[in-house]
Amino acid sequence: MKPISVGLLGIGTVGGGTFNVLARNEAEITRRAGRPIRITKVADKNLELARQVTAGRAQVTDDAFSVVSDPEIDIVIELIGGYGIARELVLKAIANGKHVVTANKALLAVHGNEIFAAASKQGVMVAFEAAVAGGIPIIKALREGLTANRIQWIAGIINGTTNFILSEMRDKGLPFDVVLKETQRLGYAEADPTFDIEGVDAAHKITILSALAFGIPMQFDKAHVEGISKLDADDIKYAEQLGYRIKLLGITRRRAEGVELRVHPTLIPARRLIANVEGAMNAVLVQGDAVGATLYYGKGAGAEPTASAVIADLVDVTRMHTADPENRVPHLAFQPDAMENTPILPLSEVETSYYLRLRVEDKPGVLADITRILADQQISIDAMIQREPGEGESQTDIIMLTHVTRERNVDAAIVKIEALPVVSKKVIRLRMEELG
């Protein structure tokens, strides 16, 4: 049977991994796909690198638009990244009747609604397993494996850089800035790590998972995004003492009033499996009404783990290449005409538990004043520790864990607590999830 002809846009780390794994495992992949899959044309600005990787096994060009317009190309793999030229190329490929495989989470989180609508109109597929959690098949799990379930919530460690940093901060007791520099030296963090450490990358990914779980459009602009750059090593230490670990989580939860969509540092009970995911690994926990909790764990980045997901998409598209578009798995798991415009809840309406750290004067009556304020806002305390002041110190830390309450109640309480003359610093507030 005639091979499927693939055009590859971008032959950097993931593109090179994809080319090499596809060539190395060609016989096995052909047995699974039912016909050979070959990358026949590669576009990259670095022609020397492209020629080095392809070693004469594919045509090389620096004109990506020539690839998406080539009538011989059946599938386009987009691995350029970003929102700009990648969007133009993907939409042009779709307009030319080509299927698209992409690892571009930023593109889909921001422009996915437009891209999927264009693909549906043209009767082509857009596959994106590699866009979330690298080699972990979480997209396929949500689109196919869990279709019998009403998904209740998803919580994921979906950025390996931040998880590595948090693991190092916990293990070595070092401050964020010191660990970040070491992480960059080791190559786990980019020279400009903003998207990772400020939670933007994780927010792109949880936006995609939320759309798949609940059958809603991509709504990245409504996500709450908070990173780890302001996280204090003291809070990691106190969390440990209370039986918790801090992870940067992407969380999306279905509620009667709407959907929660948020990324922030989160305290998780240390006994949970996901709390013990260390280093640069990823993990996604999905709660379904029928199956209960399922955990997906593995490498969330890297050349060959991500290539594994890209090639899985190539095989899926090849299998369904000639199928009636009506009989394919919908892009976002739900039929396009069955998508719901469920609102994304503002952060003030989020319901969870909280970790509060207060720096206060060590004198009688302080704790009573604070607990009175919390009670007035209908916030009850689950646990508390008070650090003994050091010799000669007149101030101490009080750490409180609350029961579940609304964010707006905590906001109001913090304003009143910080106004107390015995409170000397801003209250540190972190959210908690039991994930039980």
Q: Which residues have a catalytic role annotated?
A: 205
Question: Which residue stretches of 286-365 are H helix?
Answer: 303-319
C-alpha–C-alpha distance, residues 209 and 199, integer Å: 15
Contact in structure between 219 and 332 (CB atoms under 8 Å): no
Element (H, E) at 428: strand 428-432
Best CA proximity match to 121, nearest among 97, 89, 102, 92: 97
Q: Are 172 and 155 in contact (CB under 8 A)?
A: no
**Which residues lie closer than 8 Å to 365 by C-beta, 6 or more apart?**
none
- From the number of C-beta atoms within 10 Å of its C-beta (0-12, 13-18, 19+), residue 236 rates as buried
Q: Which residue has the tokens 């101030």?
A: 395
Yes or no: say if 68 and 96 are a contact pair by the CB < 8 Å rule.
yes
Token digits of residue 5: 């002809």
- Tokens 């460690």 locate to 157
* DSSP label of 21: H
Give the list of residues 6+ apart from residue 52 with CB closer than 8 angstroms, or none. Answer: none
Pairing verdict, β 151-157 and 428-432: unpaired
